[in-house]
């Protein structure tokens, strides 16, 4: 995408990448783990009709080079908050997908004043939100286990394209450590008072009963769209877009 502006900010030791597209009220999109901001390009044109859309890339992902620091959802939340401050953005709507949703929860926990509304797709607040085989897959992740297009997109934009296996290895280390600060307790979810939209695919890697319980804690109801963990964004995004636009445009009480 070349119609917006892009750049870097020095954030907590990172040279953190961002893109800004369109104009209007700010909408921040947070990519999934091992993905890049370009995963949102299929939905970007429609979102930029009425919004200023901000895309960022987390530590070791995409254009943002890795540093000598473990991967951590809590740290990513802090990095995101600092980047928003440097960009002068407050009152932002946030859409977090998968690992980006977990980062969005960290942002909502620690910096709720920055956020207006929160949309979460295929998101967990604890590892047991995934089916057990997914948890094992994350803990023993290998570079060969992920779709080739993820690797290709990383290599297309990363400062060091050869580091794809290192990114996967650091993600596996994070899954194995299960640091308490990287996830939320149910009581912390209940403390989030922002309006929340919670979306899962009907063939997702999230346990449906977990999504329903998570929705209760956030005082909302889960919205189920057709697709697996990725296809409802990459292949058939219109249903997702309809839900996002309706949610974000509805006035906050």
In a domain, 248, yes or no: no
- pLDDT value at residue 182: 87
Mean pLDDT of all residues in 192-197 = 96
Question: 252 pLDDT exceeds 80?
Answer: no
- pLDDT value at residue 173: 92
In a domain, 251, yes or no: no
- pLDDT value at residue 253: 57
At 206, the pLDDT band (50, 70, 90 cuts) reads: very high
CB 76 within 8 A of CB 101: no
In a domain, 106, yes or no: yes
User: What Cα–Cα distance (Å) separates residue 197 from each residue in 97, 153, 175, 248, 249?
Assistant: 12, 28, 26, 9, 12
Mean pLDDT of all residues in 109-124 = 96
Q: Token pair 């783990």 is at which residue?
A: 33
At 1, the pLDDT band (50, 70, 90 cuts) reads: very low
In a domain, 253, yes or no: no
Question: 2 pLDDT exceeds 50?
Answer: no
Helices (H), 48-111: 73-87, 99-110
Which residues span the domain enclosing 14?
5-243
Taking all residues of the chain, what is their mean pLDDT, rounded to a whole number?
Answer: 94
Q: How do residues 87-100 score in pLDDT, each as one tens digit?
A: 999 999 999 999 99
Mean pLDDT of all residues in 70-86 = 97
Sign of CA dihedral 66, 98, 121, 117: negative
What is the CA angle 79-84-87, rounded to 5? 125
What is the CA angle 29-226-223, rounded to 5? 65
- Domains contained in the chain, number: 1
Question: 54 pLDDT exceeds 80?
Answer: yes
In a domain, 252, yes or no: no
- pLDDT value at residue 178: 67
Residue 40's Cβ-count burial label (10 Å; 0-12, 13-18, 19+) is buried
In a domain, 138, yes or no: yes
Q: How do residues 213-239 score in pLDDT, each as one tens digit?
A: 999 999 999 999 999 999 999 889 999
What CATH number does residue 28 fall under? 3.40.50.1820
- pLDDT value at residue 250: 79
H/E element, 55: strand 51-57
């Amino acid at each position: 995408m070349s119609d917006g502006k892009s750049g870097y900010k020095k954030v907590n030791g990172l040279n953190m990448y961002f893109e800004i597209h369109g104009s209007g009220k700010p909408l921040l999109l947070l990519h999934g783990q091992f993905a890049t901001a370009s995963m949102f390009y299929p939905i970007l044109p429609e979102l930029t009709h009425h919004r200023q859309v901000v895309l960022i890339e987390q530590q070791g992902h995409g254009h943002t080079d890795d540093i000598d620091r473990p991967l951590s959802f809590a740290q990513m939340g802090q990095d995101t908050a600092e980047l928003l401050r440097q960009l002068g953005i407050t009152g932002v709507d946030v859409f977090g997908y998968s690992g980006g949703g977990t980062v969005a929860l960290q942002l909502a926990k620690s910096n709720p004043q920055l956020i207006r509304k929160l949309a979460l797709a295929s998101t967990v607040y604890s590892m047991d939100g995934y089916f057990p085989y997914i948890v094992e897959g994350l803990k023993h992740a290998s570079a060969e286990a992920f779709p080739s297009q993820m690797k290709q997109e990383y290599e297309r934009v990363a400062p060091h394209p050869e580091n794809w296996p290192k990114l996967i290895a650091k993600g596996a280390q994070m899954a194995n450590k299960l640091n308490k600060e990287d996830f939320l307790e149910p009581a912390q979810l209940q403390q989030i008072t922002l309006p929340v939209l919670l979306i899962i695919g009907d063939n997702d890697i999230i346990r449906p009963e977990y999504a329903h319980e998570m929705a209760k804690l956030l005082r909302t109801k889960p919205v189920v769209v057709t697709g697996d963990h990725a296809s409802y964004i990459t292949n058939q995004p219109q249903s997702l877009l309809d839900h996002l636009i309706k949610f974000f445009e509805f006035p906050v009480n």
